[in-house]
Amino acid sequence: MDNIMYKSDITITPRDLSEIFRVSGIKRPYENLGRLQQMLDHANVLVTAWDQEKIVGVARGLTDFSYCCYLSDLAVDQAYQHQGIGKQLIEQVKKELNEHVALILLSAPDAMDYYPKVGFDKIENGYIIKREK
């Protein structure tokens, strides 16, 4: 969308993050504002998408800016999905990094078909120790 602005130079509140998680359908603890604050405090890449004053998307990552970046969250308001906002958020994250940094993520099962469409290759050599809470 032409009227969507992408920003990487602003701080958002846990309420902003909560709202975008809630309206995007992504499974995140959007009711736990303290936990969301910690998620914001410890991320070192944050790109947001805005329609005027309304946040409509977020990409949040953790990186060393040298070798890899874990894209922890990619969420777009359901009313704004299928318009290229998620893809543009990914592109903006890549601009925050450099060509030496691999972008890695874990996909929700229902989003597995999306990521190859926006440039990700599927990998089979990953492991996880799932969170307890």
What is the C-alpha to C-alpha distance for residues 132 and 13, in angstroms, rounded to an integer?
Answer: 26
**Which candidate, 61, 56, 98, 92, places its Cα nearest to that of 76?**
56
Q: Percent of the chain beyond pLDDT 90? A: 81
Q: Where are the domains of the chain?
A: 4-117
Separation CA 36–CA 30 (nearest Å): 7
In this predicted structure, what is the pLDDT of residue 131? 85
Query: Among 1-10, 26-35, 60-69, where is mean pLDDT lowest?
Result: 1-10
Query: What is the model's pLDDT at position 128?
Result: 85
Angle in degrees, CA 56, 58, 73, rounded to 5? 135
Band of pLDDT at residue 110, cut at 50, 70 and 90: confident
Provide the mean pLDDT of the chain: 94
Q: 4-117 has which CATH code? A: 3.40.630.30
Q: What is the pLDDT of residue 61?
A: 97
Q: Is the pLDDT of residue 1 over 80?
A: no
Strand-strand pairing, 68-76 and 102-104: parallel
**What average pLDDT score do residues 43-49 get?**
97
